[in-house]
Amino acid sequence: MTARRWTIGELLNVSALYLKDKGVESPRLTAELLLALQLGLERVALYLRFDQPLQEEEVTGFRELIRRRLLAEPVAYIRGEKEFWSMAFEVGPGVLIPRPETELLVEQVLQIVRETREHADDRIRILELGTGSGAVAVVLATSLPSSEVWATDISSEALAYAGRNVERHGVSKRVHLLQGGLWAPVSPLGVRFDFIVSNPPYVASEIYDTLPAGVRDYEPRVALDGGEKGMQVVSEIIEGAPGFLARGGWLLIEMSPEQTEAALGIVAQQGVYDSARRVEDYTRRYRLVMARRT
């Protein structure tokens, strides 16, 4: 008896329904991404070859990718990359997957530069704390050709990904990767920064075990767990940043919407910031706190 020959369209439709029944988020998109990965195609090419029959080994390989996703492994880890700011970044076990909401950090920095810099070639010094895959650092470096970026992370695994992404996007001469926690790697430099940006760990320790399995069981806890109420690292950054910001320099921190009011309170307590405010993300929830050093 001859085995059934699936077409791309048939396998996509059946797989999307199967993933939906299993409660997988974005089932159709997941099926498209994984089948495109298995076949070495762009997603759009699947629809140009909708009636193309598949080889048995292609179907078998695709089923293995589906199996991994059903175990809650993130699609970005399975694919080995994630898009951020319309650029592709290598990711995998040991590094936080870039989130769409983190693009808000980049948007706000670029907006400030547009509004305050008279000359496009003015040198801009940027520090990113907790760079992870290096996505924010790379995007800022590519978007601001006159910038120099220092990017730190406590994790050597994360910095390995960041290093490859920096090389991949051709900004290795202007992005400096440093290992260590918060201020330790940059203290010896004696540099005052025009911007300090961070997407720090801000998940409250007390709710960490309630995170989705794909996050809790796969992504690095050190990049997510922000201690009691999720505010430990956020507080340390707000309190320490004035010692590293140039006068008129900006601090921008991503956090949970529920933390932004408390963060503004900590900003006010320092007595060295002005223009402090919260910024909404694309879902109209406060996601970013920013303030300028006086």
| Burial track 9-24 (b if 16+ CB lie within 10 A, e otherwise) | eebbeebbeebeeeeb
Annotated ligand binding at 145? The verdict is no
53 annotated binding-site participant: no
| pLDDT at res. 9 | 97
Q: Strand order of the sheet with strand 124-129?
A: 175-179, 147-153, 124-129, 193-198, 245-254, 286-293, 273-280
Domain ranges of the chain: 8-71, 82-293
Residue 165, marked binder: no
Asked if 113 and 144 count as a contact pair (C-beta separation under 8 A), the reply is yes
134 belongs to an annotated ligand binding site: yes
Q: Class of the 82-293 domain?
A: alpha beta
286 marked among binding-site residues: no
Residue 7 burial by CB count (10 A; 0-12/13-18/19+): exposed, middle or buried?
middle
Alpha-carbon distance values, 209 to 68, 94, 172 (Å):
21, 18, 37
Predicted pLDDT at 122: 81
Whether 153 has a binding-site annotation, put simply, is yes
Question: Is 200 part of any known ligand binding site?
Answer: yes
pLDDT for 1: 44
Between CA 128 and CA 151 the distance in angstroms is: 5
131 is in an annotated binding site: yes
130 in a labelled binding site: yes
Mean pLDDT by 10 residues, the chain (294 residues): 81 98 96 98 95 96 98 98 98 97 97 84 93 99 97 98 99 98 95 98 97 97 97 98 97 98 98 97 95 97
Query: Is 47 assigned to a binding site?
Result: no
